[in-house]
Chains A and B, each alone.
Chain A
Amino acid sequence: MQDDAAQNQTLLGADELVLNMGPQHPSTHGVLRVKLKLDGERVRGTECVIGYLHRGVEKIAENRSYQQFAPYVDRMDYVAAVSNGLGYCEAVEKLLNVEAPPRAKVIRTIMTELQRIASHLIWLGTHALDIGALTPLFYCLREREEILKIFEKYCGARLTTHAFRIGGLQYEAYDSFEKDVERFCKDFERRIQEYVDLLTGNSIWIGRTRNVGVLSAEECIALGASGPVLRASGVKWDLRKAQPYAAYDQYKFEIPVGTNGDTYDRYMVRMEEMRQSRLICLQAIENIPAGPIMGKVGKVLKPPAGEIYHSIEAPKGILGYYIVSDGTTQPYRVRIRPPSFINLQALDKMARGHLVADVVAIIGTLDIVLGEVDR
């Protein structure tokens, strides 16, 4: 008891204040609950309480056939459903030892990159809103709407798209697909400048993000952080280059990296990633190969017994699927490595010693989606 009391003593000699942030809070990005130990406004420790959105996605997989489970993965990271679907489809394809035809691969790449832009737009808007800038959110949603329209035209759904099938695609690209993507990409260059004008040089924005939530490269690797969080700390690791999947090996793009690993660097990395995704889309629509869109897979999928791990670079980081097959039509076990869940571990390290306002900025900069954290 006495030890506890001594531990709880702070600089001012007062007890620590435990502030319960969430699960109902405007800026914990869903139902994250963070217990903040505060000394005045200074954060002495954080403790994440997760699981408010747990639906047992991995367990559901064991009672569904491989095709039936595909739509469920869309519900994990629901602002990047297409990327989740790509990861799952490719993992099962790897297990079945089939490959999607080139045309399907290219269309998948375009869709996934559009989804990356959409996901980053949501991140940018909400992150800016957390830091107090009201307007970027609406600009971001306006651009995201264009992407969602393309998705809707392609497969009829906007959010949880289930756009891809195991073995390829169900839908052929609609007639003006290339034109729509091109128009979006042409517009987007000008639009992204608007966010840059609003935020990048703004001294309040810089003051709020520079040196906030610094993560060194070693810390990132130790924590298993991936995606823009890792790259902002200066580690040039992107699965699209490191272990190319889909059609990424055909396109030229840069991997932006930061130097300080602070919130501002993560902002800059994600902004540059959006520009690069735009370039990938522009390259891809230049030359979409003709041919079938579905590989040779049967109506009933019975992969050979065995296990497979496949990971892709989702907008939020490395998204991995570990699937164990026992030779039946249903997976024996599916384990998902969600980037948000693992990136969220960095919160305590990043937030300690900062102020309450910074915690909000740090949660925003980690770009978590609770659907994916809790699964």
Chain B
Amino acid sequence: MSPTLQAVLAFVQTWWVELVSGVVIVAVVPLVAGYIVLMERKLMADMQARLGPMRVGPHGLLQPIADAVKLLIKEDIIPDNADKVVFWIAPVVSMTAALTSMGAIAFGPAFQVARDINVGLLFVIGVSSLGIFGIVLGGWASNSHYSIMGALRSTAQLVSYETAAGLALVSGLLLAGTLKIRAIVDAQQHFGVWFVFLAPVAFFIYVVASIAETNRAPFDLPEAESELVAGYMTEYSGFRWALYFLGEYANMIVVGAVATTLFLGGWLRPFPNVRWMNWLDALPALFTAAVGAYCVYRAGKQPVRVQTWFMWGVALACFVVALILAVPLLVAPLKFLVPGLHGAFWFLLKISAYIYLFMWLRFTLPRYRFDQLMHLGWYILIPLAIVNVLAVGVAMILEMEYGWNRWLAMLLTTVITLATALFLLRLNDKRAAAASSAAPPPEEPSTEDSYAG
């Protein structure tokens, strides 16, 4: 056996978990992203009094696959004046960063993606931030005004909001005392409460900042369709465009997973330590069964026989999942499977809820202007995040050194942070008012002076 082969074998033996996870991520995430897009389109259609995709498969269930095929076979256009190499690399960088950062995430106690490294959360945030390089390089390499403006906006936005998001995460990490993904969730189980209830302000800041980080409305300025056509993606088409798109949705999953892990109790069910709430364990199975039952109900209403069969297939899949979730609860020897399976269910449910929130905001709100975005970031979110870190720290000292009740300490600091938020908002309003009324001449001096002479 040649030494090269041996080296390769040794490498594979050491890293096989990571290699397999890598393959799984690359295989699964695009599909999931495609279905998130479908979900988004369906929800948007529902909120806008229309139907959304209905043609490909029953209720458009095969639309993502059709889209993927379409994008794969589309003509691949590279502008003449583009920097070809960078133009090639940029979307790959963007997507690689998004997919790599998933490596350290755990989708439940039994579903660690690659490895539970000791700086897990830091790794996730750090690597996903690298995605900005793809956007900047792509915008620059396109050699187009719209692209470069989108890229510049994106850079400024990410730098500003990454700071706020990082500080918000620090508040949560102070409570957890670790960066290890699994340990963070264990800490929440130990505390008996999700960190969102202990540090609500931090969670709120993270929600806002993560929307901005993933370039979603109302912070979707880098790709603001009505202003910059498509921002940094303007010159991209076909599969390269799809890579950017994929990166964006993968990023949404990542921020959802981070928020879920740190603030929403990870894979813990609601009230994880409360014994009489144990009936909640039946919820996952009932939920999937209900979805399956709805599919059966819809199956009879499909106009085409193929679609009826398809719906029956989906229903069957749902029932199988429900069965898998239910059996370990009922059969004593399989009880050890419960945390793993149900953990994954709860984790995915929470991520979905988080992404749903993103979508809901997108359909509802108009877009911020660039200067307003910057003001919101630098004048409100970042100061608030700093105050919040201090406040959480003070609360923890009060609890640990002076024996205060944890809830009392947290409540106190939350109130302080909220007061700061109000103060910042007031300040911001005043500043905005001053800026808008700068044009008219300054007001007369006070009346006291007029009587002075």
Contact = CB atoms under 8 A, between A and B. Distances in A.
Q: Considering residues B220, B229, B367, B436, which has the most beta carbons from chain A within 10 angstroms of its beta carbon?
A: B367
Interface stretch (B46-54, B101-109, B181-189): B46-54
Given A356-B149, A357-B370, A26 B365 contact: no
B440 to A, nearest CB: 12
Contact of A26 (B44, B225, B371): B225
Contacts of B48: 134-135, 137-139
B233 to A, nearest CB: 13
A84 B289 CA distance: 58
A132 B364 contact: no
B149 A25 contact: no
B47 A133 contact: no
B149 A132 contact: no
Contacts of B442: none
Interface string A4-29: 00000000000001011000011100
Given A134-B363, A139-B48, A207 B145 contact: no
Given A135-B48, A138-B49, A139-B48, A205 B366 contact: yes
Nearest to A132: B367
Contacts of A137: 48
B227 A17 contact: no
A134 B228 CA distance: 16
A204 interface: yes
Contacts of B225: 26-27
A207 B372 contact: yes
Contacts of B436: 210-211
A198 interface: yes
Given A139-B49, A360-B226, A133 B366 contact: yes
Contacts, number: 85
**SS class of chain A's interface: helix, strand, loop or mixed?**
helix
A54 B105 CA distance: 58
A208 B229 contact: no
A355 interface: yes
Interface in A14-52: 17, 19-20, 25-27, 41
B71 interface: no
Contact of A135 (B47, B224, B228, B367): B47
B125 to A, nearest CB: 27
Contacts of A135: 47-48, 363-364
Given A132-B218, A135-B47, A138-B49, A358 B369 contact: yes
Contacts of B224: 132, 357
B387 interface: no
A128 interface: yes
A133 B365 contact: yes
Interface residues of B, number: 30
A25 B229 contact: yes
Interface string B58-75: 000000000000000000
A241 B436 CA distance: 35
A51 B340 CA distance: 66
A192 interface: no
A273 interface: no
Interface string A122-160: 000000111111110111001000000000000000000
Contacts of A170: none
Q: Considering residues A26, A131, A132, A358, which has the most beta carbons from chain B within 10 angstroms of its beta carbon?
A: A132
A199 interface: yes
Given A132-B226, A134-B363, A357-B224, A142 B145 contact: no
B42 interface: no
B303 to A, nearest CB: 24
A357 B369 contact: yes
B368 interface: yes
Contacts of B221: 357
A202 interface: yes
Nearest to A137: B48
B221 to A, nearest CB: 8
B9 to A, nearest CB: 54
B218 A356 contact: no
Interface of A: 17, 19-20, 25-27, 41, 128-135, 137-139, 142, 198-199, 202, 204-205, 207-208, 210-211, 355-358, 360
19 contacts: A20-B145, A26-B225, A26-B229, A27-B225, A27-B227, A41-B149, A132-B217, A134-B44, A134-B217, A135-B363, A138-B49, A138-B50, A204-B218, A204-B367, A208-B368, A211-B436, A355-B371, A356-B149, A357-B369
Given A132-B365, A211-B436, A356-B149, 20 more contacts: A19-B149, A20-B145, A27-B226, A132-B220, A133-B365, A134-B44, A134-B217, A134-B362, A135-B47, A135-B364, A138-B48, A142-B49, A204-B218, A204-B367, A208-B366, A208-B372, A355-B370, A356-B228, A357-B227, A357-B369
